[in-house]
Amino acid sequence: MPATTTADRLTFTWNPTWDRNAPIAVEVTETRPRSTKRTVYVVGLDRPVKGGRVFHVAKHPDETGERADEVYETFVGDDGRASCSCKGSACRSHSIRCRHVLLVEYAISEHVL
């Protein structure tokens, strides 16, 4: 059965797996007042680093032909720090997390990653 978590206007849905080292597919649904956007990402552990872990978050191709070559390195620290290589993360303050960091943090909190 799929697991679902909601944060602000983002909803994350994934099928839990028993292998925490295997990549998982996460569907992110963003609900805005006039539209809803669904994007699927494939998330996998890239490498543990001092003070945290780095994950690859790759956009999965969809039926509309949207580009799927977007891959982000997302760092989640043991002390709560987080960062992402996406453009949105670079434009925000460190207190506002991008969708890629949020989906990795929620997957970790649900013991999926």
pLDDT per position as a tens digit, 8-17: 677 777 666 5
pLDDT per position as a tens digit, 35-74: 888 888 888 877 888 999 999 998 877 655 556 668 899 9
Provide the pLDDT for residue 96: 73
Task: Decide: helix, strand or coil at residue 102.
Answer: helix
Q: How many domains does the chain have?
A: 1
Domain span at residue 36 reads 3-109
More confident residue, 22 or 4: 22
> Which residue type is seen at 68?
A
For residue 87, give every residue at least 6 positions away whose Cβ sits within 8 Å of its Cβ, in sequence order, or none: none
